[in-house]
Structure 1
Amino acid sequence: MVPLISYLNSFFHFNLINRFNDNFINKVTVLEHCLDLNIKIPNTLITTNSDELNVFLSENKMIITKSIQNPFFSLNINQNYKAYFSTPTQLVTLKDIPKSSCSFSPSFFQKYIPKQFEIRSFYLNGIFKSMVIFSQQNEKTKIDYRNYDHKNPNRCVPYILPKKLEKKLHQLMLRLKLNCGSFDIIYTPEGEYYFLEINPVGQFQWLSRNCNYSIEKTIAKTILKNGKKDKNLYSALYK
Structure 2
Amino acid sequence: MTVLIVTFSQDNESIPLVTKAIEERGGKTFRFDTDRFPTEVKLDIYYSDAERIIITDGDQKLDLSEVSSVWYRRMRYGAKIPETMDEQFRKASIEECRRTVRGMIASLPAFHFDQMSHVDIANHKQLQLKIARELGLITPRTLTSNNPEAVKQFAQECQERGIVTKMLSSFAIYNDLGEELVVFTSPVTEEDLAELDGLRFCPMTFQENIPKALELRTIIVGNQAFTASVDSQSLQGSTYDWRKEGKALVQDWKPYNLPNDVEGKLFQLMNYLGLNYGAIDIIVSPDGEHIFLEVNPVGEFFWLEKYSPYFPISQAIGEILVNKK
Change (3 A) 1:118 1:102: closer
Shift of 1:38: 1.2
Aligned to 2:227: 130
Structure having the higher Rg: 2
Aligned to 1:30: 128
The residue type equivalent to 2:313 in the other structure is: I
Given that residues 221 and 313 in structure 2 are in contact (C-alpha distance below 8 angstroms), is that contact kept between their aligned partners in structure 1? no
1:68 pairs with 2:165: no
Per-residue CA deviation, residues 185-210 of structure 1 (Å, 9 max, x unaligned), is 00000110000110111110111223
Change (3 A) 1:20 1:83: farther
Given that residues 47 and 107 in structure 1 are in contact (C-alpha distance below 8 angstroms), is that contact kept between their aligned partners in structure 2? yes
Given that residues 216 and 282 in structure 2 are in contact (C-alpha distance below 8 angstroms), is that contact kept between their aligned partners in structure 1? yes
C-alpha separation in 2, matches of 1:110 and 1:183:
17
C-alpha separation in 2, matches of 1:222 and 1:83:
35
Pick from 138, 141, 149: which aligns with 1:43?
A: 141
SS of 2:114 mapped into structure 1: coil
Aligned to 1:96: 192
Length-normalised TM-score, structure 2: 0.62
C-alpha separation in 1, matches of 2:292 and 2:196:
34
The residue type equivalent to 2:113 in the other structure is: I
Given that residues 133 and 154 in structure 1 are in contact (C-alpha distance below 8 angstroms), is that contact kept between their aligned partners in structure 2? no
C-alpha separation in 2, matches of 1:15 and 1:108:
35
SS of 2:146 mapped into structure 1: strand
Change (3 A) 1:143 1:99: closer
Aligned to 1:191: 288
SS of 1:131 mapped into structure 2: strand
What 5-or-longer segments of structure 2 have no aligned partner? Answer: 1-97
Given that residues 216 and 228 in structure 2 are in contact (C-alpha distance below 8 angstroms), is that contact kept between their aligned partners in structure 1? yes
Length-normalised TM-score, structure 1: 0.83
What root-mean-square deviation, in Å, do the aligned CA atoms of Structure 1 and Structure 2 show? Answer: 2.5
Aligned residues: 222
Shift of 1:60: 0.4
Given that residues 175 and 181 in structure 2 are in contact (C-alpha distance below 8 angstroms), is that contact kept between their aligned partners in structure 1? no
C-alpha separation in 1, matches of 2:128 and 2:295:
8
C-alpha separation in 1, matches of 2:282 and 2:164:
15
1:147 pairs with 2:244: yes
C-alpha separation in 2, matches of 1:103 and 1:149:
29
SS of 2:243 mapped into structure 1: coil
SS of 2:254 mapped into structure 1: strand
Aligned to 1:116: 213
Aligned to 1:86: 182
The residue type equivalent to 2:256 in the other structure is: Y
